Amino acid sequence: MSELSDIIKVDINRYGSLRIDEFMTLALAHADHGYYMKQDPFGRGGDFITAPEISQMFGEMIGAWAADAWLKLGAPNAFALVECGPGRGTLMADMLRATRGVAGFHDAAQVCLVEISPALREKQKEALQGYDIQWFSGFSDVPDYVPLIVIGNEFFDALPFRQAVYQGGEWLERVVVLDKNDNLTFSSSRDLIAGSMDSAVKPRNDDVSEGDIFEFAPEREAFMAALCTRLKAQNGAGLFIDYGHAQSATGDTFQAVYRHDYCDVFDHIGDADLTSHVDFGALSQVAGDAGGNVEAIATQGDFLRRLGIDLRARALAAHAPDKAPDIEKDLQRLIHPDQMGTLFKVMGVSYGIKQQLGGF
Ligand code: SAH
């Protein structure tokens, strides 16, 4: 039994139950024992591998996207290049390397990383040696006087979400409680959900059946709303990549990954990653309501191909023929529909840019 699960049990005893978002916040972000706070969970030795850790080509394409967005903004001579949840810093390092040749881009860019984890900040410092970087704990602290180009890979899925469960003709809040043996288990609560789903794009009651689960994420939506408020005032663009769906739908996508394998969400608390699929339909609605120019959600495969990842893979393979099979394997992992190509989606939003963003 981990120390963190004891802390969670004390909270449940005190309050009667925890909502999923409250449980997730403790499991991932508890200052001493939270998953992201105490370790480096990524990479081939970690719990899971993200796209930038698979291949440098991913960051190179995102770098090209950012340079294109900057040019479409009129190449301002100062802007903030913001990454939310940069993990080990690999994506930003590849983006900066890939954009060295874009005249004026590096001089104009103020690189800002939004990161809550002290352990990962250290990794990012190492990966980005030689660059002038600023760190922030929250998005609200990033510069408010220059245009913004904001990216986030697998960032939204790390933010807490809530679940509603359809029971007896109404939506109830899905909560975590203790069973009679003092083990964590799911239950539901009518009181806790009151008013919370009023603004959610929830499914129509005649489309749902007993026991269906609907996920909604006020924290993710609040982040998108805050981003759009800033973009509206400062101009710029945002790009977010995550596994998820382009339209809101029912389904339980709460999952835990421990050392490359799925596990029960109540096992390995603080040592397993907890995520859920991102509802890009809901986030697009928030951005659209805020007046943003929202691109149609793209799949990761289409997005990367439109930015030229096939050509890049061929060029890399021509330079290093002995690595060609690995390069091809990594390419397929990123773009193939059976791998990350379709499940992962890309959302783009902009203000003050008339043309379409790259890759959509
Ligand atoms: N983008 C990286 C890492 C994704 S994991 C990659 O693709 O490899 C999620 C990242 O978001 C981690 O760096 C984690 O520490 C950070 N994070 C989680 N919650 C956060 C929050 N509320 N604010 C800022 N960063 C957060």
**Could you count the other beta carbons within 10 Å of the beta carbon of residue 190?**
12
Q: In terms of pLDDT, which residue wins out, 40 or 220?
A: 220
Which of 21, 26, 155 has the most ligand 1 atoms within 8 A of CB, as the residue to mutate?
155
350 Cβ below 6 A of ligand 1: no
Ligand 1 neighbourhood includes 218 CB (under 6 angstroms): no
* 42 Cβ inside 6 Å of ligand 1: yes
Average pLDDT, the chain: 94
Kindly indicate the confidence band of residue 39, based on its pLDDT and cuts at 50, 70 and 90: low
For a mutational test of ligand 1's pocket, the pick from 48, 116, 122, 344, i.e. the residue with the most ligand atoms closer than 8 A to its C-beta, is 116
- Check if 279 has its Cβ closer than 6 Å to any atom of ligand 1: no
Tell me the pLDDT tens digit for each residue of 324-347.
999 999 999 999 999 999 999 999
Provide the pLDDT for residue 248: 85
pTM as predicted: 0.95
pLDDT at 235 (0 to 100):
98
> Is the CA virtual torsion 127, 226, 118, 134 positive or negative?
positive
Ligand 1 centre from 317 Cα, in Å?
31
Residues 6+ apart with CB under 8 A from 307: 61, 64, 65, 358, 359
Does any ligand 1 atom lie closer than 6 A to the CB of residue 56? no
Ligand 1 pocket check for 116: Cβ under 6 Å: yes
What are the φ/ψ torsions at residue 51 (nearest 5 degrees)? Answer: -55, -45
Q: What is the pLDDT of residue 12?
A: 96
Q: How far apart are the C-alpha atoms of 346 and 280, rounded to whole Å?
A: 9
CA of 137 to the centre of ligand 1 (A): 11
Which region among 188-202, 228-242, 283-297 has the lowest average model confidence (pLDDT)?
188-202
184 dihedral zone (left: phi>0; alpha: psi -120 to 50; beta): beta
Q: What per-residue confidence (pLDDT) applies to 197? A: 79
Give the ligand 1 atom nearest the CA of 90.
8
301 C-beta closer than 6 A to ligand 1: no
Q: Going by CA atoms, what residue is nearest to atom 2 of ligand 1? A: 87
Percentage of the chain beyond pLDDT 90 is 87
Q: Which of 73, 115, 72 is nearest to 91 (CA)?
A: 115
Sheet holding 261-263, edge to edge: 261-263, 255-258, 273-275
Whether the per-residue pLDDT at 200 is higher than 80: the answer is no
> Alpha-carbon distance 242 to 278, whole Å?
7
The CA–CA distances, whole Å, from 39 to 32, 57, 121, 349 equal 11, 26, 11, 32
Per-residue confidence band for 1, with pLDDT thresholds at 50, 70 and 90 = low
Q: What is the pLDDT of residue 202?
A: 72
Looking at ligand 1, which residue's alpha carbon is closest to its atom 11?
85
Ligand 1 proximity of 153 Cβ (cutoff 6 Å): yes
pLDDT value for 252: 96
Say whether pLDDT at 172 is over 60: yes
For residues 261-275, average pLDDT: 93
Q: Give the pLDDT of residue 259.
A: 84
Max Cα-Cα span within the chain: 65
CA distance 160 to 26: 10
With a 6 Å cutoff on the Cβ, whether 360 touches ligand 1 is no
Tell me the DSSP string of 30-65: -TTT-HHHH---BSTTSSB--HHHH-HHHHHHHHHH
Alpha-carbon distance of 152 to 145, in angstroms, equals 21
Q: Phi, psi at residue 244, to the nearest 5°?
A: 170, -170
- At 72-107, the pLDDT tens digits run 999 999 999 999 999 999 999 999 999 999 999 999
